[in-house]
Amino acid sequence: MSKTSDMIRKMFGEGDAKRDAGLTTPEDIIRYDDIRYDTIEPKWQMLDVYRPKAAEGKLPVILSIHGGGWVYGDKDVYQWYCMSLAQRGFAVVNYSYRLAPEYKYPASFEDTKTVCEWILDNAEKYGFDTENIFGVGDSAGAHMLAMLCCALTNPDYAKTTGFETAKGFMFKAIALNCGAFLITPSQEADLTTMLMGDYLPNGGTKEEFELISPVKHLTADFPPVFIMTCPGDFLNAQPANVIPELERLKVQFVYRHYGDSKNELAHVFHCNIRLPEAKLCNDEETAFFRSFLE
């Protein structure tokens, strides 16, 4: 364990516990917990499914990819946020994946691929409308979701990542929250670059940075995307790296910048479901998804 990863786990864990203290499962949600989606590492390869109790039949699906700097987080941390999305009329799949530095890239990517296949295989059991699958990710999760969408829509990139086996899975639209889209070596000791030493097998070579920077692998087939940030987000310069490329490729997108100088909010503020700004953001993102429903 590096000092950086150890610090992230301690700091983020304490902050998330404080943020979510006292929250309980909403009465209008039915939850299916601790479903194993693979057998390599039972501690991590588990998922939950949440649905509105009143809903019958198949529902549009949201796959949530949690953040945490590639080294922290699990489905339990994200359960409250994901259940709030389910309350908006979706079946939500919330999963844990193998974390760095114990499991370096592409372990988390492989787990995500397996969860996508699990959604297709279990659509009847849990009432998934596989014609309408959406994705949300924040911070490192937004980075992973963007990479996944590149692999799904760019055959050449898929060959380099091994994702080409996930046949029949595609996102109708996605939301990238407070994410990283271009990762490059830095002369400064910024957090993202420091974490690359734990995440990447070779610690962050030029080739590795190229491979994991989604902006380098976009095509015109990338799904419609809702991108958001806020003044207090330490990654708030990242949308400027990807938006020009989306415009060039004519990929449909919506960009939102929440908060202002008097209310800067914070990185991944949308996960704090007690905040009115989080409600607004999550309402707007799910409304964006519903605009694509067939």
Three-state DSSP at 104 gives: coil
Q: What is the CATH number of the domain that holds 76?
A: 3.40.50.1820
Residue 8 Cα to chain centre, angstroms: 18
Question: Per the omega criterion (within 30 degrees of 0), is the bond before 106 cis?
Answer: yes
Please give the residue range of the domain that contains residue 228.
3-290
Assess contact for 27 and 99: CB atoms under 8 A.
no
Three-state DSSP at 15 gives: helix
pLDDT digits (tens), the chain, 294 positions: 588 999 999 999 999 999 999 999 999 999 999 999 999 998 999 999 999 999 999 999 999 999 999 999 999 999 999 999 999 999 999 999 999 999 999 999 999 999 999 999 999 999 999 999 999 999 999 999 999 999 999 999 999 988 876 678 999 999 999 999 999 887 566 788 889 999 999 999 999 999 999 999 999 999 999 999 999 999 999 999 999 999 999 999 999 999 999 999 999 999 999 999 999 999 999 999 999 996
As given in the structure block, the two tokens for residue 37 are 């989606």
What's the domain count of the chain?
A: 1
Q: How far is CA 219 from CA 58, 100, 116, 150, 244, in A?
A: 31, 28, 21, 7, 13
- pLDDT for the residue numbered 188: 60
- pLDDT for the residue numbered 256: 98
With 0.95 as the threshold, say if the pTM is over it: yes
As given in the structure block, the two tokens for residue 6 are 């150890």
Beta bridge partner(s), residue 61: 91, 133
Burial class (CB in 10 A: 0-12, 13-18, 19+), 197: middle
- pLDDT for the residue numbered 189: 63
As given in the structure block, the two tokens for residue 164 are 């080409």
As given in the structure block, the two tokens for residue 256 are 């939102």
In the chain, what is the greatest distance between 2 CA atoms, to the nearest angstrom? 54
As given in the structure block, the two tokens for residue 243 are 């938006």
- pLDDT for the residue numbered 251: 98
